[in-house]
Chains A and B, each alone.
Chain A
Amino acid sequence: MSALRKLFRFHGGVKPDYHKHASTRQPIAGTPIPAELVIPLHQSIGGPPRPLVQAGERVLKGQRIGDADGNVSSAVHASTSGTVTAVEMRRMPHTSGLSALCVVIKPDGRDEWIARQSFDFRNASPTETRDYLRDAGVVGLGGAVFPSHLKLNAGKQGRLDTLVLNGAECEPFITCDDVLMRERGEAILKGAAIMREMLAAGRVLIGIEDNKPEAIAAMMAAARAAGDDAIQVVAVPTRYPAGGAKQLIRVLTGIEVPHGERSTDYGVQCFNVGTAYATHDAIALGQPLISRIVTVAGNVGQARNYEVLFGTPMRDLIAPCAPLPDSDRVIMGGPMMGFRMPGDDVPVVKATNCVLVGSDALFPPPPPEMSCIRCGECAKVCPSDLQPFEMYWFARARLFGKAQEYHLFDCIECGCCAYVCPSRIPLVDYYRFAKSEIWAREVEKEAADQARDRYEFRLLREEREKQEKAAKLAAKTAAGREKAAAALAEAEKPARTPEEEAKHALIAAALERAKAQKERAHPENTSNLSPEQQAEIAAIEARRAEIREQAKPHLRADD
């Protein structure tokens, strides 16, 4: 139900041309199974999943082919039945054009499912449900692909005030959430109900930008049909980036969740409507995440939304949309935040909300970058209340520490600043550059710190071993000398007078004392030890002796 509710405003934002109409004229269409599916194993935030299949193996639709690597990871599944032809490096849908491990499947055309079973989450512990969703590969479908099971955790208080469903979809061209809400509102609400139960959330607010009246109407009808008063459909003002999770939470609840903090600590959690739909599929139908709605738009004759199997090459998707002849690029995502693809052969993945075909006519190359005149336009439109020109200044000068002081990592890379900049500075490029440099440096520093620790430990160990060896040697030579002295004394005995005898005894006694003292004193780092430490050393010595015995035949003569 929709109620007149007080909405809040986030700072800044822009109103670009939306271009959403072209792709919403027709309903969602299916796509034929392609000749080859290339399914990247790493499709979410977190550790790359481990492959579970080998070349030659037959897989069924929905069969898990990559296993989550730890809890911060998410499984991947075969999108149709067929034969695995290879598990190899393939070009990823990533601006870098680099490759990563993919499972290549040759479909058999039968599209044969695994045994599907709904998951009784009401009789399962929250952890079990989360593990199930992790293994079903459910991740955030808004584009960030954060594993959803990690977010379905009510946090400290064990309950939340508000579950926000994000149907704002503020990026130009993209309409996949729009059509999903129009056509499959009921399933979205069922998914939301599951999420709400897991989070013990008091209410569900579905935020939809008011330029999508059909979706709002459809969701309101679905909410009415569901008959749940706790579900409210809220039309939010159309202003990019209203669909940013933090911005939408702000608009709907007035709460600002600071960077680096959990929204659940503020009593609110936010999911994309597509994620709610996928959750319903996984829990109620037992279908893991193997496809999603993808908008194909931009420089095409017939823009449309398709339900696409993951691993489908983007070109298979673009072809039926009649791309215009001057098309020269493929962008994954929208024109504000999307990423240029290295080619049209890369596969559709969980993060692919839109395949945007571009050309110089549609997206003209920006005029040359000029000097920043500090006009402050960027600060006026920044939805994170940053001072973008200051960050630009420092990023440009590679003063990364200063850039961080100006909250570089609060930047959501929405592109508003670059959109309005009169000097046409590619501001976001500078932030992306600075961020990846800072991350790389952190990784490097961590490695260096580890190397330093290991090196220092090794020095310590070598020093200890040296001292131990020296002590042993000293003991050995002392014992030898004593023996020799005794032999000598034996030989000289008859020639000695009693006075001499007494003197020798004195000397011997002194030697003995000196030796005893020496033994007590060495090695120095073993004196004044606690009984535990001594016991530990004794145990180590025993092990070492054993090893030495074993190693003796292999050791060289001088060792």
Chain B
Amino acid sequence: MHNSPYFLKPASVRSVMLRVLLALLPGIAAYVWFFGAAVLVQIALASVTALLAEAAMLKLRGKPLMLYLGDGSALVTAWLIALTFPPIAPWWLTVIGVLAAIVVAKHLYGGLGQNPFNPAMVAFALMIVAYPSLMSQWPAVGFTDFAPQLNAIFGPRQLDAITMATPLDALRTALHTEEARATVAGVLGSSASFGNIGGKGWEWVAAGYFLGGLYLLQQRIITWHMPAAFLLTLLVISGAFAAFDPGHFAGPSFHLFTGGAMLGAFFIVTDPVSGCTTPRGKLFFAAGIGLLTWIIRAFGAYPDGIAFAVLLMNIAAPLIDMNTQPPVFGHKDKRGSAK
């Protein structure tokens, strides 16, 4: 017999996770529109792999299978991996990534709720370190033919025709290789991969994620703290450096609307398990990710820095939480808050 409270609000981990998946749909739709249906194949591939891996791990750990398999957390991880990996990545890259996330980053650390690192970001970081070139081949915007993309995933890879550097990659490569001659404006103006605000096509995908993020906020699944702190930090620091040296530093709109910034802001940074939980802690945590992301983007060797930034801040999360505990009832100030 259980004890009070006898009333429980209808809520479940599964419903939380399903709403997160739902919130990803607008972004995915834009993704498919601009970059082809390959991403759907990746999502399906990642989902199946994740569920199988999850089931195997639950079985090995003697946990109730259907209960945890049905919670949807593995699917969220799978979808995030599929959305952060190049859609034309070979199938085994996605599979290994998902296995690394589910088996190592999640279950070897104790399963749902116990993992100190964001599993999807572990997968991304691992794969970009291990296979940097494969992780940098993205389909060209507007080149949505399904057959060659499918061929890239499952068959012998003939990529030249369909790939294009991502905006972040293009800018970084240009700035790094042509040093003195290249300027941000020049690179952005000359390349076909840049759109009006961010990367061409990418800006719409980002807008889709933003929409999904608003839905999550409305559903109270995430709080405003993390997206706001992350995006603001990125905006302020990129804005400041762009104002200081517009030739070598891209501006805020570029940073916010390319790469994984929007996906990160609402879906990755906000992972509750591996992140901070106190309101103030969330601000510090997400701002830290924003700062590190920008640093890696501006000075680092990898095209996007969100994965590394998230992992680095994951390490700091317990410390931040410990030092940002909110005051409890009656301890907000000496004489009650009315006075």
Contact = CB atoms under 8 A, between A and B. Distances in A.
Direct contact of A and B (CB under 8 A): yes
Interface of A: 8, 10-11, 14, 16-17, 95, 172, 246, 250, 253-259, 261, 266, 329, 331, 333-340, 358, 363, 365-368, 370-377, 379-380, 383-387, 389-390, 406-407, 410, 415, 418-424, 426, 428-429, 432
Contacts of B272: 373-376
A303 to B, nearest CB: 16
Nearest to A421: B11
A384 B332 CA distance: 11
Given A338-B6, A387-B325, A374 B13 contact: no
A257 B337 CA distance: 10
Nearest to A371: B113
B71 A415 contact: no
A426 B177 CA distance: 59
Given A256-B337, A363-B7, A385-B326, 6 more contacts: A254-B336, A256-B336, A372-B113, A384-B328, A406-B325, A410-B330
Given A370-B68, A374-B273, A424-B12, A256 B7 contact: no
B181 interface: no
B338 A8 contact: yes
Interface of B: 1-9, 11-13, 15-16, 64, 67-68, 71, 73, 111-114, 220-221, 223, 272-273, 277-278, 325-332, 335-339
A377 B2 contact: no
Closest 3 A/B residue pairs (Cβ) = A254-B338, A258-B330, A415-B5
A259 B73 CA distance: 38
Contact of A385 (B2, B112, B113, B327): B327
Contacts of B330: 246, 256-259, 261, 410
A261 to B, nearest CB: 7
B13 A423 contact: yes
B95 to A, nearest CB: 25
26 contacts: A8-B337, A253-B336, A253-B338, A255-B336, A255-B337, A257-B330, A266-B336, A334-B4, A335-B4, A336-B5, A338-B6, A340-B4, A368-B64, A370-B68, A373-B16, A374-B272, A375-B272, A379-B278, A387-B325, A407-B328, A410-B328, A410-B329, A418-B5, A419-B9, A428-B3, A428-B5
A8 B336 CA distance: 12
Given A376-B277, A406-B325, A339 B4 contact: yes
Nearest to A427: B5
A95 B336 contact: no
B70 to A, nearest CB: 10
A11 B73 contact: no
Q: Chain A contact residues: over half helix, strand or loop, or mixed?
A: loop
Given A246-B330, A258-B331, A337 B5 contact: yes
Given A385-B327, A387-B325, A329 B7 contact: no
Contact of A428 (B4, B64, B220): B4
A339 B3 contact: yes
B4 A420 contact: no
A85 to B, nearest CB: 32
B207 to A, nearest CB: 26
B338 A255 contact: yes
Nearest to B337: A256
B206 to A, nearest CB: 25
Given A371-B111, A422-B12, A335 B5 contact: yes
A257 B114 CA distance: 36
Nearest to A356: B6
Contacts of B273: 373-374
Contacts of B335: 255, 266
A337 B328 contact: no
A422 B113 contact: no
Given A338-B6, A339-B3, A376-B272, A385 B328 contact: yes
A312 to B, nearest CB: 23
Nearest to B64: A368
B112 A370 contact: yes
A253 B339 CA distance: 10
A512 to B, nearest CB: 75
B329 A368 contact: no
Contacts of B114: 371
B271 to A, nearest CB: 9
A239 to B, nearest CB: 14
Contacts of A415: 4-5
A337 B4 contact: yes
Nearest to A254: B338
Nearest to A393: B113
Contact of B12 (A255, A367, A418): A367
B337 A387 contact: no
A10 B336 CA distance: 12
B73 A373 contact: yes
Given A246-B329, A335-B4, A16 B277 contact: no
Contacts of B326: 385, 387
Contacts of B220: 380
Contacts of B5: 335-337, 415, 418-419, 428
A14 B9 contact: yes
A294 to B, nearest CB: 18
B218 to A, nearest CB: 15
B112 to A, nearest CB: 5
A421 B327 CA distance: 22
A421 B16 CA distance: 11
